[in-house]
Chains A and B, each alone.
Chain A
Amino acid sequence: EAGVAQSPRYKIIEKRQSVAFWCNPISGHATLYWYQQILGQGPKLLIQFQNNGVVDDSQLPKDRFSAERLKGVDSTLKIQPAKLEDSAVYLCASSTGAGHYEQYFGPGTRLTVT
């Protein structure tokens, strides 16, 4: 089966600019996650969707980050305005549903904010 797709793979922006990331989960996967992985750290969950509804966004900096999952399939994560500390790899993952199922990760988008 095709894996989780993400784009772009790399992005360099200046602080205060905006950026958007796109994720296409594995077909049929109801649950979608966005993680932020800062260099040398473990992934940190930003937001979790179940179909097109938000399950958990407690760690999402809502003053600058937003995410949506239209029609319960693809998802976009936006940062506006970006800060230097947002430099990280943004990983999208999906799983079959709500429960302790394996999460399949995409290749990630490496964001550098200068």
Chain B
Amino acid sequence: GENVEQHPSTLSVQEGDSAVIKCTYSDSASNYFPWYKQELGKRPQLIIDIRSNVGEKKDQRIAVTLNKTAKHFSLHITETQPEDSAVYFCAASMDSSYKLIFGSGTRLLVRP
């Protein structure tokens, strides 16, 4: 079945710097890749997603890129702020089931 690997597991950046989180997936049939943000003790919330017919998508300070050939996708956060501190999860799914397979998470710490 599908497997999603995510790295790094922890990332510490200075406020204002950029942060990049990378994920790889194993099943080439996967065609939908959402990113969820989970603050401590709270529920995961969707922050951005991308479908396989698109190479890049941007929403204000966050962007996601997808390389279907290499089977990897990345989350880019620019001008990081302390409120960006959270755990970020990537996920992948395909049309056969629509279920999300999550990565193991990246704990992002933005230092003021």
Contact = CB atoms under 8 A, between A and B. Distances in A.
Interface residues of A, number: 21
A40 B105 contact: yes
B65 interface: no
- Central interface residue in B51, B93, B98, by most chain A CB within 10 Å: B98
Assign chain B's interface to a size class: 20 to 34
Contacts of A103: 46, 100
B34 A102 contact: yes
B46 A102 contact: yes
A102 B46 CA distance: 7
B44 interface: yes
Contacts, number: 52
Contacts of A33: 99
Contact of B103 (A31, A42, A55, A91): A42
A98 B98 contact: yes
A41 B34 contact: no
Contacts of A105: 43-45
B99 A43 contact: no
Contacts of A98: 98
A102 B49 contact: yes
A55 B100 CA distance: 13
A48 to B, nearest CB: 6
A100 B51 CA distance: 9
A49 to B, nearest CB: 11
Interface in B29-69: 31-32, 34, 42-46, 49, 51
A56 interface: yes
Interface of B: 4, 6, 31-32, 34, 42-46, 49, 51, 89, 91, 93, 95, 97-105
**10 cross-chain pairs, A with B, having the tightest CB-CB distances, nearest first:** A42-B102, A100-B32, A105-B43, A102-B46, A42-B89, A45-B99, A105-B44, A43-B102, A42-B105, A42-B104
